[in-house]
Copies of this chain bind each other. A is one copy, B any other.
C-alpha cells in the first residue's frame, strides 16, 4: 500500500492543468518540471501522465498539436482550453474543501 500514490490519486489532471495555465507544454517537460519541483520525492509515471492527457483531451479540457521540431524527437504540445481552465478552478476549490474534510475526519475522535 503506497500511501503516497493513493493519496495523490485523482490529482494528476489538476497537476497537468496547472502546468498548462501559463504556457503550452509537452509530456516530457511537464514530467521534468514535477520532478524538479518535488526534488524527486514524487514522479508522475509516464503511463499515468499519458492516459491523463487522453482523458483531458477527450473531455475537451486540453487540445494537442505536434511541435515543429527540426531536430530531436518530435513533441506533442498541449494547450489548455476554456473548459480546462474551468475544470482547474473547480478542482482547486474542491481540493480546499477536501483538505478540510480529511483533516476533520482523520483527526482522533474524542467523543
Contacts and interface: CB of A to CB of B under 8 A. Distances in A.
Contacts of A101: 8, 38, 41-42
A31 to B, nearest CB: 12
A95 B21 contact: no
A94 B3 contact: yes
29 contacts: A3-B10, A3-B90, A3-B91, A3-B94, A3-B98, A4-B94, A4-B97, A6-B9, A6-B10, A7-B10, A7-B11, A7-B95, A8-B102, A11-B105, A14-B106, A15-B105, A18-B105, A18-B107, A18-B108, A19-B109, A21-B109, A22-B109, A33-B111, A34-B105, A38-B101, A42-B105, A91-B106, A95-B106, A99-B99
